[in-house]
Amino acid sequence: SLAERIAYTAFAFRGYNETNLGRSGELLAHPVYGDYYADALRRASEECSDAVGHKVDLVDRVRRGEETSLATYAEAISLIVAVEQAQIQILRSVWRVDYSKAAMTFGYSLGEISALVASGVLEMNAALRIPLSLAAECVELAHGVTLGIFFSRRSVLPLEDVNRLCLTINHQGRGVMGVSAYLSPNSILLMGQQDTLQRFGKEFRDSVDRKVHLRMHGGDWPPLHTPILWDKCIPNRAARMLHTLPGGFTAPTPPVLSLVTGKTSYNDYNAREIIHRWVDHPQRLWDAVFAVLNQGVERVVHVGPAPNIIPSTFKRLADNVDAQTRGRLGVRTLKAIVPHPWLKRILPDRAALLRAPLVEQVILEDWLLAQPVGSAAP
């Protein structure tokens, strides 16, 4: 049961991706869960309709199994947040899981906004207004933006060199690029206009380290969390809208670990400041992964339709730790790393990462569909 050991559970919310339906069609058609999905999707449809100026019906989209695209980016945003809120409400109402008692919650990109809704900082409709009001211009900026994974197989990336070279490329005046996410010590997510990523990769190999790799991903990408958004003054316009956004004066319960800061930074009044920075600051995913492990979390529940980035990050880390420690450290030794403060003090700073293979990973939509209908709490 997910209600057991909730104090040692973290909830992770996914963000926007190329595909955003997951198993939502099955859950919408479910005899117990369907009404929760329909209600959240209808409320999100109303907010999205107001933002885009025409009628949006997310319930119909999910029933038809029609995926979103860059052209329907606003609908994708609304769908993801609605589905995540529906899943949390199902846990509360159907399975009697006290979400507020969880160790923490966090989200990648749009997922952080959804986590703030689930933790009571913002209402869903209010939270959707900021990304929806900026969606059209994010789509405009996406055309010609390339995404790339920049990584080293043998060493930690020197982030000072990375950041310096990003600024150097931008200074050349032939497009803007930036780090969108710090995925791990040896990998980052880059986004760039024109041929900025290719120039970055070549100059880095020529001047810093030849044994690095840049894996390019085709398509057009909304350049969230990068300085590309400055082209249309999006961060400042978001900040202006945040002044009068309803809510934001309640401390999150459970605490929200921000990928803007890599810490549980939200309090009862600073949501506007952090959301403003969220718009164009890179996502500190690796800091969040470490914080989860360092706090002694035993289970991570992944919320949303077909979550990908956060589960795959934990899996890669667990596989790497397992490969490096197999036969050297027993399970009891790994379990003891965090619970004993005296041991934690004398171990290396990042020893908590060794716990990764022991942390249970649950994909919430799969878990919900695997439960017998008759076993739900009355």
Two domains, one topology: 6-140+230-375 and 144-219: no
In 108-176, at which residue ranges do the beta strands (DSSP E only) sit?
145-151
CB 226 within 8 A of CB 25: no
- The CATH code that applies to domain 144-219 is 3.30.70.250
Express each pLDDT in 230-262 by its tens digit. Answer: 999 999 999 999 999 999 999 999 999 999 999
Rounded to the nearest angstrom, the gap between the alpha carbon of residue 165 and the centroid of all alpha carbons in its chain is 26
Give the pLDDT band of residue 84 (cuts 50, 70, 90): very high
pLDDT of residue 323: 83
Residue tagged 């990003």 (tokens): 166
How many helices (H) and strands (E) in the chain?
15, 9
In angstroms, the Cα distances linking 246 to 91, 130, 277 are 26, 11, 18
Question: Would you say residue 216 has pLDDT above 80?
Answer: yes
CB 284 within 8 A of CB 297: no
Cα separation, 94 vs 154, whole angstroms: 47
Delimit the domains of the chain by residue range. 6-140+230-375, 144-219
Task: Give the amino acid at 33.
Answer: Y
- The CATH code that applies to domain 6-140+230-375 is 3.40.366.10
Secondary structure of 290-321 in HEC code, one letter for each residue: HHHHHCCCCEEEEECCCCCHHHHHHHHHHHHH
Output the furthest CA–CA distance in the chain (Å, rounded).
65
Q: Give Cβ neighbours of residue 13 (< 8 Å, ≥ 6 apart).
A: 84, 105, 106, 107, 108, 110, 111, 112, 114, 115, 118, 303, 304
Express each pLDDT in 129-182 by its tens digit. Answer: 999 999 999 999 999 999 999 999 888 999 999 999 999 999 999 999 999 999
List phi, psi (to 5°) of 17.
-145, 180
Question: Would you say residue 345 has pLDDT above 60?
Answer: no
HSE at residue 95, side-chain half, CA atoms within 13 A, is 24
